[in-house]
Chains A and B, each alone.
Chain A
Amino acid sequence: MGDHQCPKLAVWKFASCDGCQLSLLDCEDELLALAGEVSIAHFPEASRAMAPPPYDLSLVEGSITTARDAERIHEVRKHSKTLVTIGACATAGGIQALRNYRDVKEFTSIVYARPDYIDTLATSTAIADHVPVDMELRGCPIDKHQLLELISAVINGRQPNIATHSVCVECKLRGTVCVMVAHGQPCLGPVTQAGCGAICPGCDRGCYGCFGPQDTPNTDSLGKVWLQADRQPDELRRVFHNFNAAAEPFSEAGSKYGQDDHS
């Protein structure tokens, strides 16, 4: 395929740690094939070459935490045919959305020597709260197989296979012994969306919920199961208010088990 026909890929960064973008570079074996199929038009993390808009596929990492970014995302949207959000920050506001439960001025005064240099919004919000999003990839960080699946679906004009069911499905497909039932370990798998391949239960620890809520999350029932297993309400608040603290089902669930002000 000649370079001129290749779809133009752009990667954008908002408030984030860069881990999700790096998943793209982490594709090692597939990276050459990818470079042959898309032209990387804008990816500052990987290359200084910048091609002008429009872009066929934009991958957006990070959440909106500044007034400037709240404007910039509209520019990105305008220049992108397909816009895909990647990672917990872009899809749910990320770990930095913990500020949504507190007074951000208090944070800046503790953390920075000159808080008056800091110009930030009171909340961290998902990209979809600002512009229409075509597809999303969950995870903190995203899973590279899902990323490749999504890119190859977009290039080939088909639906990507991105499940919205629980982690338990993947856990059982790989034959893992349930850590909650057999080892008495707390696990968020039943309320969390699949996509990681159930890595944590596979390493004998409960799921941390980094892919956010599955499509029918019964957080109340799981909370009761944890409490019956002698877990403390505060622990439940902290596990729900984590990477996906601002994803609605997790946000509501966490708030039921206590106030973040006292953390």
Chain B
Amino acid sequence: MQDRANHRFVVTRHDFSMLLATLRERGYLLLGPTLRDQAIVYDEINGAEDLPAGWTDEQEAGQYKVKRRDDNALFAYNVGPHSWKKFLQLPSLTLWKAQKTDNGFKVEERDEATPRMAFIGVRPCELRAIAVQDQVLTGGDHIDPDYARRRKHAFIVTVQCTQAGNTCFCVSMGTGPRAEEGFDLAVTEIIDTHRHEFVIEAGTDTGAEILARVPHRSASEADWQNAQSATQRTAEQMGRQIETSGIRELLYRNAEHPRWDEVADRCLACTNCTMVCPTCFCTAVEDVTDLAGQTAERIQRWDSCFNSRYSYIHGGIVRPSTRSRYRQWLTHKLAYWHDQFGSSGCVGCGRCISWCPAGIDITEEVAAIRANDGGGMEQGRKTNE
């Protein structure tokens, strides 16, 4: 969209509810953050009343806690256990279903009706994660049709981060805490003793059109400065960081680093890091039949490189040890994702750190390898041990 400066507006807290109501009226399914089971999860919401008003989260390696704030901010928390991938690349999906016939089988017509989804509260790191998944699942010769269908009509309301969590490191990865593109609307929440309002920027014509239906005023230079400084402060509060210079080569030349053994002692091979990661895209395919052998179904579901059978190829499991699985995961994220897809596979959201039951921290692992670059590799181990 051209001339973005003319597409900056201010909407009051009251009218922000109208914005969501307008999206609903336009036929969008509202998906957004809501408080459930002592966490801020992503789910279907009815409107602004379901947002986690007045709640925030505190995160550390292996720890997540929601806490009450002393105001009613709608978006004063960071990312939780869910990511938008659960709506775009479904956790479990029937790819096709077939019925047995007298002379073979017949594949059933698929119901390809896809809801028009509006994602409310996509953080800058998550916006980048969606772009990464777009590249992986629709950027090559073989497009994932289901993902593409869901993605096509998704309306994205980004929320710029006005605070950083302890496990956030978007500044290192160049993905946040302010998004410049890729959204329909981008919101900065401004809350203090005098006001509670939202500085909103339209990134697409659809975004501008929706916003036009909601009472608003044009953002002044001061409003815009306010919004900018809120995210600047966030950038200075990053809980974690990764030194990314030469990271690809660093990891490639340290494939036999003793640190992989140390992390393997702690790693539970439980898959939580990959399940919560907004860019991890691996799936397994399972074929099932009914008892009578009349119907067969092919189901695709999330899988993980931490599972032994993930690396099963004819004759055996290629990565039997947890050491080889952790190394595969981290090296893929930060090194050969660049070779494969032209970007980093990590956007710095910190979920894998918070939701690892053993509290393993990707930033700490990289730092340890860098601190002892090439160290202790003279033993010359076999790569898959």
A→B interface (CB under 8 Å): 1, 30, 33-34, 36-37, 148-149, 151-153, 155-156, 158, 161, 163-166, 168-169, 172-178, 180-183, 187, 189-191, 204, 214-216, 218, 220-222, 224-225
Contacts and interface: CB of A to CB of B under 8 A. Distances in A.
Given A152-B290, A182-B64, A221-B358, A166 B82 contact: no
Given A178-B272, A222-B357, A165 B307 contact: yes
Contact of A218 (B267, B291, B359): B267
Contacts of B63: 181
B288 interface: yes
B270 interface: yes
Contacts of A218: 265-269, 322
A221 B62 contact: no
Contacts of B359: 225
A193 to B, nearest CB: 11
B291 A168 contact: no
Interface of B: 36-39, 41, 62-65, 81-82, 86, 91-92, 265-272, 275-276, 286-293, 301-302, 304, 307-309, 322, 354-359
Given A182-B37, A225-B358, 14 more contacts: A1-B292, A33-B292, A34-B291, A148-B291, A152-B288, A155-B293, A161-B288, A168-B271, A172-B276, A177-B36, A177-B81, A181-B357, A183-B37, A221-B266
B302 A173 contact: yes
Contacts of A172: 91, 271-272, 275-276, 302
29 contacts: A34-B291, A36-B291, A37-B292, A152-B288, A158-B289, A161-B286, A165-B271, A165-B304, A166-B269, A168-B272, A169-B307, A172-B91, A172-B271, A173-B91, A173-B275, A173-B301, A177-B36, A177-B37, A180-B357, A181-B354, A181-B357, A182-B64, A182-B65, A190-B270, A190-B358, A214-B269, A215-B308, A216-B322, A218-B269
Contacts of B86: 175
Given A175-B86, A216-B308, A222 B287 contact: no
Given A181-B63, A221-B265, A156 B81 contact: no
Nearest to B36: A177
Contacts of B41: 175, 177
A225 B91 contact: no
Contact of B289 (A152, A178, A222): A152
Nearest to A216: B269
Contacts of A169: 271, 275, 302, 304, 307
Contact of B39 (A168, A177, A190, A225): A177
A interface, by DSSP: helix, strand, loop or mixed? helix
A33 B92 contact: no
A164 B308 contact: yes
A189 B358 CA distance: 12
Given A166-B270, A168-B275, A190-B270, A151 B291 contact: yes
B270 A189 contact: yes
Nearest to A166: B270
Contacts of B38: 177, 182-183
B308 to A, nearest CB: 5
Given A173-B301, A175-B91, A221 B268 contact: yes
6 nearest interchain CB pairs?
A172-B275, A190-B270, A190-B268, A177-B37, A177-B39, A165-B307
A36 B92 CA distance: 30
A195 to B, nearest CB: 14
Of A173, A176, A180, A182, most buried by chain B (CB within 10 Å of CB) is: A182
Contacts of A153: 289
A168 B91 contact: no
A96 B41 CA distance: 41
A168 B268 CA distance: 10
A190 to B, nearest CB: 4
A207 to B, nearest CB: 11
Contacts of A183: 37-38
A23 to B, nearest CB: 15
Contacts of B82: 175
A165 B272 contact: no
Nearest to A179: B37
B24 to A, nearest CB: 22
A190 B357 contact: yes
A178 B355 contact: yes
A168 B293 CA distance: 31
Given A164-B308, A172-B276, A178-B357, A33 B291 contact: yes
A180 B301 CA distance: 24
A161 B285 CA distance: 10
B309 A164 contact: yes
Given A166-B269, A178-B272, A30 B291 contact: yes
Contact of B268 (A149, A151, A155, A166): A166
Contacts of B322: 216, 218
Contacts of A224: 266
A65 B5 CA distance: 80
Contacts of A36: 291-292
B261 to A, nearest CB: 13
A126 B338 CA distance: 49
B52 to A, nearest CB: 13
